């Protein structure tokens, strides 16, 4: 029953409802009706107010700050992120392959070359891992399936067969792919810290490739490619002059100039 509506009608037309009632009884009844109606109205208004306040509070807290802070922390373009992941995987794969040379290889020159890869790629891998953490990029805990298969395939060989496969697949093929990837990244990456690391690491990869091409296990084609590269680098140098930026051949290094340019 709507007591507020009924009490209003009683007040407007009391003769219709209370004809013949004592005045005291009539006054008490009207007071009780008005009191009940007022309580119901106040309760209704309060519940609507609470509901509105609760809805406004939910709207304010929904966006949250945790998602936004995570987005700011990992704010890096997709291409830069993909390069970091690929470079980290390649560097780790080359270290794992080089670590097998000590037990499965046979040639001292190949073992010395592998030791260089372990040391220098190890440093570069650590630097990249730290940079990835700074940029909010979480690196995979294991190598991609294709790279794991390459390492497992290499691990099934021993002796001279292992030496030849390691030099051609890791020393030459992997480093050729690395150099192309890094040269492209040097021009394309947006993050300044990442670009600085790429430009710092690229000459090391070029040295590794040149050193691998000089090994007998590389084959005649690789040796010929190394000679052509060295001739191009030395073109324009005066007679008896040392080509610019050339590393001492005794260290097994190559040119510091961008490979293939």
Whether residue 26 contacts residue 53, with contact meaning beta carbons closer than 8 Å, is answered with: no
Digit-coded pLDDT (tens) for 109-126: 999 999 999 999 999 999
Half-sphere exposure of 243 (CA within 13 A, CB side): 16
Distance from C-alpha of 111 to C-alpha of 127, rounded to nearest angstrom:
24
Whether residue 186 contacts residue 199, with contact meaning beta carbons closer than 8 Å, is answered with: yes
* Structural domains present in the chain: 76-231 (1.20.1260.10)
Digit-coded pLDDT (tens) for 136-193: 999 998 999 999 999 999 999 999 999 999 999 999 999 999 999 999 999 999 999 9
Residue 219: the pLDDT is: 81
User: DSSP 3-state assignment of 56?
Assistant: helix
Residue ranges, the chain, pLDDT below 50 = 1, 3-4, 6, 18, 26, 30, 34, 37-38, 42-73, 236-261
Q: How far is CA 241 from the centre of its chain?
A: 46
**How many CB atoms lie under 10 A from the CB of residue 146?**
9
């Amino acid at each position: 029953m709507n007591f507020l509506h009924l009490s209003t009608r009683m007040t407007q037309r009391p003769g219709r409802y209370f004809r013949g009632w004592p005045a005291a009884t009539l006054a008490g009844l009207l007071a009780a009706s008005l009191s009940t109606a007022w309580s119901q109205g106040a309760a209704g208004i309060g519940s609507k107010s609470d509901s509105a306040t609760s809805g406004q509070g939910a709207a304010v807290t929904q966006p949250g700050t945790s998602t936004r802070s995570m987005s700011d922390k990992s704010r890096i373009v997709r291409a830069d992120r993909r390069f970091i992941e690929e470079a980290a995987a390649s560097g780790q794969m080359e270290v794992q392959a080089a670590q097998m040379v000590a037990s499965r290889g046979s040639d001292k020159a190949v073992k010395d070359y592998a030791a260089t890869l372990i040391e220098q790629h190890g440093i570069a891998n650590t630097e990249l891992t730290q940079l990835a953490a700074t940029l909010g990029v979480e690196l995979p805990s294991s190598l991609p399936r294709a790279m794991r298969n390459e390492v497992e395939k290499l691990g099934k060989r021993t002796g001279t067969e292992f030496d030849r496969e390691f030099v051609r697949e890791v020393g030459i093929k992997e480093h050729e792919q690395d150099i192309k990837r890094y040269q492209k990244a040097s021009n394309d990456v947006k993050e300044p810290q990442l670009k600085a690391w790429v430009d710092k690491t690229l000459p090391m990869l070029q040295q590794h490739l040149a050193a691998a091409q000089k090994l007998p296990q590389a084959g005649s084609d690789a040796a010929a490619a190394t000679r052509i590269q060295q001739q191009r680098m030395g073109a324009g140098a005066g007679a008896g002059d040392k080509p610019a930026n050339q590393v001492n051949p005794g260290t097994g290094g190559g040119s510091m100039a961008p490979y293939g340019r």
